[in-house]
Copies of this chain bind each other. A is one copy, B any other.
């Protein structure tokens, strides 16, 4: 929690000085982040392999109607081979898109791992029942019309879930775009295209954001190990998928678009375990709505659930970003470059101003400028004009050509004090942005250090940007954004250290009972007396029980006693009359 937030959480309410709102506790409990619930739990049910590496796939609701979801799914499955057979299920047709169709899943031949269901909501419980009977291991339900359609939809969901449980089936959806596994070639979605293979696992609760990020990923040459639209999370939720991608050797980082947490315990347990080895980056929509709710509460002082979530994310090693751009940028960076081993960035630029702005962004985000070693400076002196900056950012001056760029990057990358490089180009009179990009291609993979680039401008730099993008150097329109991403990458590594911290056993000295017992007792007493606020004394006992220092305060019964105590202990005394 930031200092600001902390201050707010423990702020004193106006009408009852020193009172700590009980609902902070309630808020934490509703997210299952209360102490003791942090252990790693086994994810229920069987593996999710059937979703990503199925042998045969049935499409239930496969049609030829142009523009229909059923046709698009079938077409996507056919046109991107995944090593198994595609079986359309449609009682009204003998074949669909040239494939033999089956009247029901029962009649379909061979072992079917995965069913993709695109029939109307009302028919889905029966469809899943049939799947369960036929031994289908998993289903993706893309159909909408469940809980979002009201109580009757909830009832349908319950029936679907009961059938799935009976058959030990796992379900993704309903109301989702589907699942892609670019590594195996599986495209079980109704998106317009197939993602490029890569190492980013992307899970989104918004199908529309999936299609936007997919379209964007082609231009930016970003590849995915898995691309999952998670839908309403009737069965498979964040915890299952994070765990699965954590175990998946193809996945090197996980990017989440989150609208609701669902089973918080499963989410946080899985995240906490997986984040130890793979970065998890999340954007959570609706943070201000939650803040507004908190503000509407009568004290205005409790930790909104979004703030608790924020703390929980940090505690389990999830890096939270607040801008969509950062989510897109992080996808690109994670897919293309290694994470830095430290916070020290070297900036190489042909113009002072953009270098300074990138430095501002780096420092503001908590990063550092690498200090150039004297041998690096000497080497640079040999090849740079005398007026170069002689420090980091390395300003090579406005007439820097392709060779100068390449040499400086080579020298700067070798400096052991540098944990990564940001190369900035502004299109000045003598600059050839395209040729410079070409010259930098050999440096796209520095050993163990990330390299990022910002080719600033528009038309003149477009070709160079494209070259770098294809060479797996992430490019950013603005160098300050690039510097921020470097710092995000480092912060992720750094945050991991926090995960290994083990809180000390909590004992209130002299009382002989454990911290949580003391807190439970305080809250019990307050509840018994019908209070929702703790007194100042109780609040301070709670804080002390959790090892949070607070100003020692004692109540004096009379002015004389106050003075006596004050003189004894030498600290401020609150006089009560």
| Chain A interface (Cβ < 8 Å from any Cβ of B) | 4, 67, 69, 72, 148-149, 190-192, 204-209, 211-220, 257, 259, 283, 285-289, 291-292, 322-325, 328, 350-354, 356-357, 359-361, 363-364, 387, 398, 426-430, 456-461, 477-481, 559-560, 562-563, 566-567, 570, 572-575, 577
Contacts and interface: CB of A to CB of B under 8 A. Distances in A.
Contacts of A577: 567, 570
Contacts of A322: 360, 364
* Number of identical monomers bound together in the oligomeric complex: 2
A427 B352 contact: no
A328 B481 CA distance: 13
A100 to B, nearest CB: 26
A428 B292 contact: no
Contacts of A286: 356, 360
Contacts of A456: 209, 212, 215-216, 324
Given A190-B429, A325-B480, 9 more contacts: A207-B351, A208-B428, A209-B351, A211-B429, A218-B458, A324-B478, A325-B325, A325-B478, A328-B477
9 contacts: A67-B430, A191-B429, A192-B429, A211-B457, A285-B356, A288-B364, A324-B478, A325-B481, A562-B563
Contacts of A69: 429
B323 A354 contact: no
B427 A354 contact: no
The 6 A-B pairs at the shortest CB distance, nearest first, are namely A208-B351, A206-B353, A215-B457, A219-B458, A212-B456, A288-B363
Contacts of A363: 288, 291-292
Contact of A572 (B72, B291, B575): B575
Contacts of A190: 429
A574 B573 CA distance: 8
B285 A460 contact: no
B570 A559 contact: no
A7 B125 CA distance: 60
A83 to B, nearest CB: 26
A199 to B, nearest CB: 19
A489 to B, nearest CB: 19
Nearest to A283: B357
A426 B192 CA distance: 12
B192 A354 contact: no
A353 B208 contact: yes
A429 B283 CA distance: 24
A215 B353 contact: no
Contact of A429 (B67, B209, B219): B67
A325 to B, nearest CB: 5
A4 B6 CA distance: 13
A361 B477 CA distance: 21
B570 A215 contact: no
Nearest to A145: B387
Contacts of A461: 215
B219 A287 contact: no
A357 B285 contact: yes
B212 A354 contact: yes
Contact of A323 (B149, B352, B481): B481
B572 A566 contact: no
B323 A480 contact: yes
Given A288-B360, A288-B363, A354-B206, A428 B398 contact: no
Given A559-B563, A572-B575, A577-B570, A428 B211 contact: yes
A437 to B, nearest CB: 15
B559 A208 contact: no
Contact of A324 (B357, B559, B572): B357
A145 to B, nearest CB: 9
Nearest to A325: B478
Contacts of A567: 559, 575, 577
B357 A458 contact: no
Given A69-B429, A219-B459, A575-B573, A480 B211 contact: no
A171 to B, nearest CB: 21
Contacts of A360: 285-289, 322
A426 B458 CA distance: 23
Residue from the set A190, A285, A292, A322 with the largest chain B CB neighbour count within 10 Å: A285
